[in-house]
Amino acid sequence: LKRLADNKPYQAIKLLGKSVSGLNKKETYDEMTYANLLLSEAYSRVGLRWASRGSLLFSASLLANYFHKEKLILPSAIRVYWQLAWKELELGRIPQSLRWAELALLSLNAIEDDYIDEEELIRFDGCLAHLLLNCRFDQLAELEYLPDFLEKLQLFFSNSALIY
């Protein structure tokens, strides 16, 4: 964490990479998730967006496995799913981004966490709407199913961008 704060992302990647392997135990899911979130941030800072996504996917996989075994959603799962929604959006992968956003919002409702507030949802919605408005006209035909789904997720700017 100090290495990231000191703007030394390569050192952070090295140290976090070593620590992640030692945290791969059931008792340390929260620590493992936190380490992978930091690792993802470090990768992002040096422009390794796909590696950043990979760290988040690894955490999401562990958290999904935990849910299937324990029937319990950890609050850290919401953070990971939401970060994945943003990362996929950054990579221009709209369908994947929407699925992660949906999972984050469903998980949020299930455990009544407040990680994703209305302002955060509006920011995500605005960025998604911007990406949708930059689609070519021939691509829009492939998105005809999307307005209803966007409304279900309360992404009203994106919904309006596609309809009008």
Q: What's the CATH architecture for 2-116?
A: Alpha Horseshoe (1.25)
DSSP secondary structure code for residue 115 in this structure: S
pLDDT grade for 23, boundaries at 50, 70 and 90: low
pTM: 0.87
DSSP string, 89-136: HHTT-HHHHHHHHHHHHHHHHHHT--SS-HHHHHHHHHHHHHHHHTS-
Question: Which is higher by pLDDT, 55 or 140?
Answer: 55
